[in-house]
Chain A
Amino acid sequence: MINWQAFRLTIELAVVVSAILLMIGLPLAYWVAFSRWRWKFLVEAVVALPIVLPPTVLGFYLLVVLGSRSPLGRWWLSLTGHTLAFTFAGLVIGSILYSLPFAVQPFTASFSSVDRRLIVASATLGASPLRTFFRVVVPLSMPGMITGIALAFAHTMGEFGVVLMIGGNIPGVTRTVSIDIYDQVQASNYGAANATALLLLVFCFAVLTVVYGLNRGTSKHKLWPLGPVR
């Protein structure tokens, strides 16, 4: 009943997207948290756009950009022989943009809450910004980073509109769980729809439970066995 192929594909997508978001989200969040550039707010607004935009809008423009008529699409076409639209790679790109704020915002919030004086102290002790980032900022931001990754993961698991727009519905390539559920409902297979929907529900609930459980309490240092922090 359950479409395991769609489920596996969805998890694969969520893992890849979360991993890439970790890699591009960290420097982006670091920049947003610490930059003093006067137009920074514009970047922040762009990053936050997917929260308010209908997925169809994002999906539509992605389709345009990734399609064979745009320079990017043509370049990809000449490189690989096919367009990015309606491929797994295209789906990854769309999902990264769509889930970007869910990773970057918690990262930024936790980076900003790291005491600046610790960063100053690190610099006076001769540590480069990169070392300061990995030895001081990241360890003290662990809960926010875990929250960001978990939200991005869960958000990607459940996305529908963007996938439909740029991925279409190709079994094993772009048919994710949410699309599959939609299909089942369209075909009046309520039993199958229910089984898959329930599985997704339980899975997402489990992920979020683990995250919030780890971050239990209000102490931002909870994940770090710190003892009382003054």
Chain B
Amino acid sequence: MPTPIPEQKTATSTLNARISKRFPSAEHDFSLDVEFSVAPGFTILFGPSGSGKTTILDCIAGLATPDAGKITVGERVLFEASTSSNVPVVERGVGYVLQDLALFPHLTVEQNVEYGLAHLPRSTRKQRAAAMQQEFHVENLRQQRPGEISGGERQRVALARALVTDPCVLLLDEPLAALDAANKSKILDDLRRWNQAHRIPILYVTHSREEVLALGERVLVLEQGRIIAQGTPHEVLSAPLQETVAQLAGFENIFDATVWLVHEDRGTMTCRLPGNQPGTYVLLETPLIRAETGSRLRVGIRAGDILLATGKPQGLSARNVIAGRLVSLERRDMIVAARVDCGVEMVVYLTLAARDDLKLIEGLEVWLVIKTYSCHLMQK
């Protein structure tokens, strides 16, 4: 049956949510207790799996009912426990892109996009769907079925399908998790462009730190059903990571370090690594974390993340260019592990071809190039 799409959407309708919900269980009770608002634009909801992210989205979409609380968009009340108001899912007009997109496999791309417009006359429907398909660059896939298009294209179709209904809020449940960075950022650009005109609150759920940093938008940090922090990614994600065996496992290079200088304005800081010889040290520019000057931590760098040059590189964006000397070259299957003494000893992984092209021999003077964000900080 045709569905009312909310018409009174004002230019700035902020999503306000206060949600309490208990999940009693024999093992351990889980309770969700959050209060937050999402202004028009992107807000990231960040938290580990099991922290309650999807439950929050389900409550906003009307798929789950909070035990207590209130959910509003602008003036419109979607849910209020005290007055027992609960707008049914089909009338909420909340756009929800599920993690696995849930495109209708038996319908074409065009039919998928038109699905939410059944209440409109055919010509209007076609027109709006066409415009939306164009906006998300899927207009040439109109007659294809979801099974026949790529992951990125499916993602675009799912966004177009949700947005064509002019939702009052858009919920995205880790929708881009499976995509490569290039695809992801193109899709996000299209989404941002769309939202410049529409100005709706977009709640983007992710459990990936990298994604939070890359999106660079306001973030709510959820842990065990509570919002423990909110602000910019650098404000809230700055606590150093816990050092665990699992986290250490990926890093061939791990150094003790001291916070030397903090560059709040640049979003970076300089760490000092004690050198091989007493009294010497190496400086490394790392991402900014919430730490005092002088505090001790650990830096992990993957051997595959370091570039090696035989001449001093110039005009690079990478912030760390460190001179050193090649100590040893050791072939491990199809890669070469190069040990470089640059005040501290670092392992760098190279390909066989790189070794041969650069004519690397032991004792050669080399430069190591390390990007700021390749330096992973861990609590000591």
Contacts and interface: CB of A to CB of B under 8 A. Distances in A.
Contacts of B67: none
A117 B100 contact: yes
Contacts of B118: 126-127, 131
A79 interface: no
Q: How large is the interface on A (under 10, 10 to 19, 20 to 34, 35 or more residues)?
A: 20 to 34
A230 interface: yes
Q: How large is the interface on B (under 10, 10 to 19, 20 to 34, 35 or more residues)?
A: 20 to 34
Given A127-B116, A127-B118, A131-B118, A115 B102 contact: yes
A152 B292 CA distance: 77
B145 A127 contact: no
Contacts of B182: none
Contacts of B61: 124
Nearest to A118: B102
Interface in A137-155: 139-140
Contacts of A65: none
Contact of A226 (B90, B93, B106): B106
A124 B62 CA distance: 8
Contacts of B105: 118, 140, 221, 224, 226, 229
B106 A123 contact: no
Nearest to B171: A124
A169 B45 CA distance: 72
A20 interface: no
A127 B96 contact: no
B303 to A, nearest CB: 36
B148 interface: yes
Nearest to B96: A124
A124 B95 contact: yes
Contact of A227 (B5, B92, B148): B148
Given A226-B147, A227-B148, A127 B106 contact: no
A130 interface: yes
B341 to A, nearest CB: 50
Given A124-B61, A127-B116, 8 more contacts: A117-B100, A118-B102, A121-B102, A122-B115, A124-B89, A125-B115, A128-B3, A229-B105
26 contacts: A117-B98, A118-B104, A118-B105, A121-B102, A122-B104, A124-B63, A124-B92, A124-B94, A125-B161, A126-B3, A127-B1, A127-B116, A128-B1, A128-B90, A135-B104, A135-B115, A140-B106, A221-B106, A226-B105, A226-B145, A226-B147, A227-B144, A227-B147, A227-B148, A228-B148, A229-B105
